[in-house]
Chains A and B, each alone.
Chain A
Amino acid sequence: MRFGVVVFAGSNCDQDCYHVIRNVLGKPVKYVWHEDANLKDVDCLILPGGFSYGDYLRPGAIARFSKVMDAVTEFAERGGLVIGICNGFQILLEAGLLPGAMLRNRSLHFVCKFVHLKVETTDTPFTNLYRRGQIVRMPVAHGDGNYCCDEQTLKALEANGQIVFRYCDEHGNVTPMANPNGSLANIAGICNEQRNVLGMMPHPERCSEAILGSTDGLTLWQSIVKWLEGKG
């Protein structure tokens, strides 16, 4: 089993992801440069956070046309696991690997803080070790995390159980007050219909070690390992 961390021009969470996979999770990991098109020896791809191409035009709009993205799309279509975090989520949306789009945060502020999330489904390769309805703490750090999609798409997301994480308060109540960015239906993370592509604004790689204030993100990486091992 090997993880790959895609490095775009302007990624800035690539090393955090690499560190967690290698030193905390103890699994093999390699960087994948955005001009590479070879993903043959990778089982799970991470599109990390950052500000690819300075967020010019729209976050993720330029990175989405990187050479590596054709390979990522093909990898995802073959059932490979892809997780996009923050800017990685925005890139997956722009690439059409996940439905919807991001708008500026409702407050217009860059929001950088710990938030509470409700794990809405454990039926994904990324969340199978959480409990359904579990409340977890993870940090967010973004200016464009206001998820938006049309009514029909939202209905499909709800009906198919594709909403993976929602912003909530510490008691698990999904309220407007607990929504840090104005995101539709308090959406913090969604997966595709096939459930092998996950996009999320919160940063699990920043809460995978006790010294960082929460280990709730580690469960996500462990879920991926469990799923890949079960498959192999």
Chain B
Amino acid sequence: MKKAIVLIRLKPSLMDAQGAVIKRALLQLGYNSVTDVRVGKLIELTLDSEDGSEVTAMVREMCERLLANPVTEEYEVLVENTD
């Protein structure tokens, strides 16, 4: 079994309204060193496969087709063994 972690981020060129609000709240709490906050998504998939590279390729395909929107988002796929 493999576990795939998909990180989905808003493209850097796009304004992240949620991130901006969170940043403001953090500054209000006194975390003055915060210069930027971006909010993304994490999707965890468990796959019945032993082949890491096959899993990576398949999950990337899932990202292209469904999990991420290529117009607004970027994605990263991390694959690890489950035990």
Q: Does B34 contact A (CB under 8 A)?
A: no
Check B71–A58 contact: CB distance below 8 A.
Answer: no
Could you mark each residue 32-57 of chain B with 1 if its beta carbon is under 8 Å from any beta carbon of chain A, else 0?
A: 00000000000000000000000000
Q: Could you say which residues of chain A place their CB within 8 Å of the CB of B14?
A: 103, 148
Given that A57-B67, A65-B66 are known contacts, is A148 also in contact with B72, CB under 8 Å in the complex? yes
Q: Does A14 contact B (CB under 8 A)?
A: no
Q: Does B81 contact A (CB under 8 A)?
A: no
Check A149–B17 contact: CB distance below 8 A.
Answer: no
Q: Could you say which residues of chain B place their CB within 8 Å of the CB of A65?
A: 66
Contacting residue for B72 out of A103, A105, A107, A108, CB 8 A: A103
What is the distance, in angstroms, from B69's C-beta to the closest C-beta of chain A?
Answer: 5
For the side of the interface on B, what is the size category? 10 to 19
Given that A57-B66, A61-B66, A65-B66 are known contacts, is A104 also in contact with B17, CB under 8 Å in the complex? yes
Q: Could you say which residues of chain A place their CB within 8 Å of the CB of B71?
A: 93, 100-101, 148-150
Give residues of chain A (63-121) contacting chain B, Cβ–Cβ below 8 Å.
65, 93-94, 100-101, 103-108
Give residues of chain B (1-51) contacting chain A, Cβ–Cβ below 8 Å.
10, 14-15, 17-18, 21
Contacting residue for B18 out of A101, A104, A182, CB 8 A: A104
Chain B minimum-CB-distance residue to A94: B69
Could you mark each residue 63-78 of chain B with 1 if its beta carbon is under 8 Å from any beta carbon of chain A, else 0?
A: 0001101011000000
Check A101–B72 contact: CB distance below 8 A.
Answer: yes
Q: Could you say which residues of chain A place their CB within 8 Å of the CB of B21?
A: 108
- Give A108 to B39 CA distance when docked, in angstroms: 13
- Give A108 to B15 CA distance when docked, in angstroms: 12
- Give A34 to B18 CA distance when docked, in angstroms: 33
Check B66–A108 contact: CB distance below 8 A.
Answer: no
- Give A106 to B18 CA distance when docked, in angstroms: 9
- Give A85 to B76 CA distance when docked, in angstroms: 32
- Give A114 to B10 CA distance when docked, in angstroms: 30
Q: Could you say which residues of chain A place their CB within 8 Å of the CB of B69?
A: 58, 61, 94, 101
Check A182–B17 contact: CB distance below 8 A.
Answer: yes
- Apart from A61-B66, A104-B18: 5 A-B pairs, beta carbons within 8 A: A94-B69, A101-B69, A106-B15, A108-B17, A148-B72
